[in-house]
């Protein structure tokens, strides 16, 4: 059973660390699902624009320095620096990520944060064609007012059925 929790998302927005939450609902009205969904949007908005000045650094700000990233076809990276080098080399200016609507699920982790999982598609920047699909699981750590990604699993990479 999924449990909805009320979190202090307003403090995150007030910190200025995550501009996507600046217009978020007051903390008393935001559930854990809404908070993580807003963070997912912010992380991947920066990811999708990482070729633009400052966006890769913004994307980096959501990840713990010792983040572990497990990619079924790309292997494992053990820290933020290596993960960002891969993002810079293989993603920026080449493709964007879109969350598949209705697939994001969020689960609380007692005294730690949350786990999110879902499916996303990848679209070529040049053509706009969305040819790849994959599933993901992200472990989020809440430390005071800050949410940080500590683990990422990206798996089940496959071709999209229609390529649109």
- pLDDT in single tens digits along all 164 residues of the chain: 333 322 223 233 333 444 434 334 455 478 999 999 999 999 999 999 999 999 999 999 999 999 999 999 999 999 999 999 999 999 999 999 999 999 999 999 999 999 999 999 999 999 999 999 999 999 999 998 899 999 999 999 999 987 55
pLDDT, position 104: 98
Terminal-residue alpha carbon distance, the chain? 34
The DSSP element (H or E) to which 71 belongs, if any, is: strand 63-71
Which residue ranges form the domains of the chain, and what is each CATH number? 9-159 (3.10.450.50)
The CA-atom distances, in angstroms, between 22 and each of 13, 48, 91, 104, 149 are 5, 19, 27, 21, 19
Rounded Cα distance between 125 and 155, Å, is 21
């Amino acid at each position: 059973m999924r449990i909805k929790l009320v979190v202090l998302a307003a403090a995150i927005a007030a910190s200025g660390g995550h501009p996507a939450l600046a217009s978020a609902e007051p903390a008393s009205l935001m559930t854990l699902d809404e908070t993580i969904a807003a963070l997912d949007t912010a992380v991947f908005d920066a990811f999708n624009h990482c070729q633009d000045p400052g966006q890769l650094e913004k994307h980096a700000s959501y990840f713990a320095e010792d983040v572990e990233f497990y990619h079924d076809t790309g292997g494992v990276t053990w820290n933020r620096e290596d993960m960002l080098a891969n993002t810079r080399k293989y993603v920026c200016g080449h493709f964007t990520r879109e969350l598949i609507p209705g697939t994001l699920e969020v689960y609380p982790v007692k005294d730690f944060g949350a786990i999110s999982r879902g499916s996303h598609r990848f679209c070529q920047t040049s053509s706009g064609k969305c040819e790849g699909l994959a599933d993901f699981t992200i472990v989020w750590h809440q430390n005071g007012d800050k949410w940080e990604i500590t683990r990422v699993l990206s798996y089940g990479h496959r071709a999209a059925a229609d390529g649109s």
